[in-house]
Amino acid sequence: MKSYIPHFLMLKEKSFNQTLEKLSTGPGIIPFAGGTDLMVLFEAGKLAEGTFLDISHLKELAGIYEHKDFLEIRALTTYSEIKNHPIVRREFPLLYEAAKVVGARAIQNRATIGGNIANASPAADGPPALLCYDAIIEIAAAKKNRKVPYCDFHKNYKVMDLKMGELIKAVWLRRSKSFTGVKKEFYHKVGTRKAQAISKVCFAAKVQLSQGQVQEIRLAYGSMAPYPVRAKSTERILQGEKLSSNLIQLAITQLQKDLSPIDDIRSTAKYRMQVACNLLKQFLEGCL
């Protein structure tokens, strides 16, 4: 334990409103949910000394709610709960696949989707799936709630559209309308090993085709940029086009403009880019 424990304080407020009030009193109060990220920093001596506000008991932040057009996954939902939910499995298979590969079971039992988003690791497993589903983040604050498209939420490495006093309240996923045509979804995490791994490259993709023509496409990546991203310019050159080997080749070239992988302790930029291209190729060729 590298942190000096007596200099850390944990508190909780009884109610959700009191929690939001407390958070708005100053930047030094950090919300604490499942702890699977913060406690690792704590042990390593990398967590700044201060006050932590336990939010894990707040029922306003808990549960998965089925609405007619949306699935509402509240922030404290753990990845185990996400993995085990029948609607997630049926209608949001990318998120189901992601939930299965988050850490391992003991982590999934504690790791929350809200914490995963707020921790903003570029290597997070859930976010690429959320990007493919055009997730909307509902943000709560003492004064006002608001909603942000998840693809606009991250601005830079660990810089996000979340102000002091604000708390991620829920993730909203739009449930698909019925569609005549072919829908394909693909999730692949290349980790350092097959379980309990941080990703080197994470790829989530969703495409809707009608007679070989791309009606809608989402390509999302983890560990390939300072935050989870969609390969938007690559999506644009595929949008509305008929898939062909030539088009796939163009897409792969374009992909390299959308992504900015780095060398780090786990992998190299060159490897990451090559694998990202290979996975895209595999996905698109599977749609031919």
Partner 1 sequence: MRLRTEGAQKVTGHARYIDDFSLPDMLYASTIRSPVSRGILIDIIFKEGINWDEFTIVTAKDIPGKNHIAMIENDWPFLVEKNINHYGEAVGLIAHPDKNMLARAHQFIEVKVEALPGIYQIEESLGCKQLLWKDDNIFKSYLIDKGNIDDVWSKADFIIEGEYSTEAQEHMYIETNGMVAVADKQNGVTVWGSLQCPYYVHGALVPLFGLPQEKVRIIQAETGGGFGGKEDFPSLLAGHTALLAWKSGRPVKMIYSRTEDMQNSTKRHPSRSRHVWALSKEGKILAMDIEFILNGGAYYTLSSVVLSRGAIHAAGPYAIDNVRVDAKAVATNHFPFGAFRGFGAPQSIFATERHMDYVAKVIGMDPIELRLKNFIKKGSQTSTGQVISERVDFKDLISSAQKSIGLEKKQKQFERDNQTSHIKRGFGLAAFFHGAGFTGSGEVYLASVAKARATADGKIHILASSVEMGQGKNTIFTGLAAQALGLRDDDIVIKTPDTKYVPDSGPTVASRTSMIVGKLVETACLGIRDTLIAQGYIKKKYQRAEFIRALKKFVSKNGPFECIGQYQQPQNVHWDDQKYQGAAYATYGWAVYMAQVAVNSLTYETTVEDFVAVQEVGKVLHPLLAEGQIEGGVVQAIGYALYEKVIYEQGRMINNQMTNYIIPTSADVPNIKVIFKEWNKKYGPGGAKGIGELPMDGPAPAILNAISDAIGVDINHIPLMPEDLFLKMESTNGN
Partner 2 sequence: METNQVNISLNVNGKKIQITTYGMKRLLDVLREDIGLTGTKEGCGEGECGACSIFMDGQLVNSCLIPVFQAEGKKIETIENLEGKTELHKIQKSFLQHGGAQCGICTPGMILATKELLAKKSGKLTAKEIEEGLGGNLCRCTGYLKIFESVKQAEGK
Q: Check residue 24 for interaction with partner 1 (CB under 8 A).
A: no
What are the C-alpha distances in Å from 56 to residues 22, 156, 170? 15, 27, 14
Instruction: Yes or no: say if 102 and 108 are a contact pair by the CB < 8 Å rule.
Output: yes
**Residue 42, binding choice from partner 1, partner 2, none, Cβ under 5 to 8 Å by partner class:** partner 2
Site string for partner 2, 97-136 (x = CB under 8 A): ------xxxxx-xx--------------------------
Using the rule CB under 8 A, which residue among 75, 198, 251, 259 binds partner 1?
198
Nearer residue to partner 1 within complex by CB, 92 or 203:
203
Nearer residue to partner 1 within complex by CB, 40 or 164:
40
Q: Check residue 177 for interaction with partner 1 (CB under 8 A).
A: no
**Calpha distance 89→86 (Å, rounded):** 5
**Residue 282, binding choice from partner 2, partner 1, none, Cβ under 5 to 8 Å by partner class:** partner 1
**Residue 210, binding choice from partner 2, partner 1, none, Cβ under 5 to 8 Å by partner class:** none
Stretch that binds partner 2, among 1-9, 119-127, 142-150, 175-183 (CB under 8 A): 1-9
**Residue 266, binding choice from partner 2, partner 1, none, Cβ under 5 to 8 Å by partner class:** partner 1
DSSP the chain: --S-GGG-EEE--SSHHHHHHHHTT-TTEEEESS-TTHHHHHHHT-SPSSEEEE-TT-GGG--EEE-SSEEEEETT-BHHHHHH-HHHHHH-HHHHHHHHHSS-HHHHTT-BHHHHHHHT-TT-SHHHHHHHTT-EEEEE-SS--EEEEGGGTEEETTEES--TT-EEEEEEEEPPPP-SSEEEEEEEEEESSSSS--EEEEEEEEEEEETTEEEEEEEEEESSSSS-EE-HHHHHHHTTPBP-HHHHHHHHHHHHHH------SS--HHHHHHHHHHHHHHHHHTT-
**Calpha distance 113→188 (Å, rounded):** 19
**Residue 9, binding choice from partner 2, partner 1, none, Cβ under 5 to 8 Å by partner class:** partner 2
Nearer residue to partner 1 within complex by CB, 201 or 209:
201
Q: Which residues within the stretch 88-127 sit at the binding site for partner 1 (CB under 8 A)?
A: 104
Q: Supply the minimum distance, in Å, between the C-beta of residue 158 and partner 1.
A: 18
Nearer residue to partner 2 within complex by CB, 47 or 251:
47
Q: Which residues would be at the binding site for partner 1 (CB under 8 A)?
A: 1-6, 40, 43-45, 104, 190, 192-198, 200-201, 265-268, 270-271, 274-275, 278-279, 281-282
Site of interaction with partner 2 (CB under 8 A): 1, 5-12, 32, 35-36, 39-40, 42-44, 52, 54, 56, 80, 103-107, 109-110, 194-196
